[in-house]
Amino acid sequence: MRSIYKNLLLAVSFTIFLTTSLYAQDSNILYTVSTIEEKLKNTDFEIFRFKDLRFKGDIGKRVILRYQDGNDLQIKWRRALPGGHEFNNAPRFEMAAYELQKLILDESEYVVPPTVCRGFMFDEYKNIEAEAIPTFRKPNLVIVMMQYWLNEVTIGGEVYDKEKFEVNPTYAKHFANTNIMTNIINHKDSNEGNLLTSTDEDNPRVFTVDNGVTFSSPESDRGAIWKYIRVKKLPRKTIDRLKQITTKDLNEKLGVVAQFEFTEDKIFSVYPSKNLNPRKGVRKSGNTIQFGLTSYEIKAVKKKIDYILKQNKKGKYELF
């Protein structure tokens, strides 16, 4: 089969890539979630552009993936370091945030862009990043976190517009949902740019796009204002969804957020099986690798949900 890394093309205008899709969800996410997930996890691609995200040598990359169907994707790409989990490079936290929202929100309301992990054999991956080192050894494997790059969003600045929150119910819904999520996942990095707002006046969505410093992670040096709920009104629909979530639901959804099977010369994503070790977040046993939240981290998520519901019952929040 033709290698997916055959062509590494650089410095080409993104306007060539960005086309309107028949499957457009809205102005921020141009494809359905299922389409994006399948493409990122399983579909062959060529790398059209591979650029450092913030500074020269940054492990985070801004990447354009080209597909045979012509529906290309721009993504954030971050290679996992040895062991699969480091401070501010935690694929399991990024994926857990993405998967958790599926219990709470409808697809049109998602606040975390589509986020997946994909596995590569190290010998192939060296064609992409020559300086890379394996995430796991025996055999040598690389795991990459991939997150869909949003369109038509603001970059930087204060996301919470109090006046807009009061007069625009659509913005209020989206911001409140984002704030609920950042509270539940214990978001601890207030770096400007981690929360983005849509420039679409008809659908002013709000997104949390960098969710590695969350759950049981230490706090960043940029503060942690988003781990608190900053609003006084919450969507009734979201509160009702939170009431339905059980510990069993959380264990099933978050215990294993990504699983890979591998041989000596191939690695592929598979549907999650039984949790190999609920006390660990990264698990490698036999020819299986799992990423997920620990039982302790899942209990903390449930505690956050229960606290929101308790405060709501006390009348702290106006529902709309």
pLDDT in tens, 40-92: 999 999 999 999 999 999 999 999 999 999 999 999 999 999 999 999 999 99
Spatial contact of 242 and 301, defined as CB atoms under 8 Å apart: no
204 belongs to a structural domain: no
Quick check: 20 pLDDT over 60? no
Structural domain range at position 31: 14-152
Query: Of 205, 213, 204, 79, which is closest to residue 146 (Cα–Cα)?
Result: 79
Alpha helices in the chain (DSSP H): 14-17, 33-42, 91-101, 122-125, 162-167, 169-184, 236-244, 247-254, 295-313
Question: What integer pLDDT is reported at residue 21 of this predicted model?
Answer: 43
pLDDT 10s digits, 129-150: 999 999 999 999 999 999 999 9
Residue 33: burial class (beta carbons within 10 Å; 0-12, 13-18, 19+): middle
CB neighbour burial string for 154-173, b if at least 16 within 10 angstroms, e if fewer = eeeeebbbeeebeeeeebbb
300 belongs to a structural domain: no
| Entry pTM | 0.92
Question: What integer pLDDT is reported at residue 156 of this predicted model?
Answer: 74
Question: What integer pLDDT is reported at residue 19 of this predicted model?
Answer: 41
210 belongs to a structural domain: no
Reported confidence tier of residue 158, pLDDT bands at 50, 70, 90: confident
- For the chain, how many structural domains are there in total? 1
Looking at residue 140, the DSSP 8-state letter turns out to be T
128 belongs to a structural domain: yes
- Residues 6 or more apart whose CB falls under 8 angstroms from that of 99 comprise 253, 254, 257
- Residues 6 or more apart whose CB falls under 8 angstroms from that of 317 comprise 231, 232, 233, 234, 239, 311
Looking at residue 150, the DSSP 8-state letter turns out to be P
132 belongs to a structural domain: yes
pLDDT 10s digits, 23-46: 456 899 999 999 999 999 999 999
50 belongs to a structural domain: yes
Considering all CA atoms of the chain, what is the largest pairwise distance in Å, rounded to the nearest integer? 61
26 belongs to a structural domain: yes
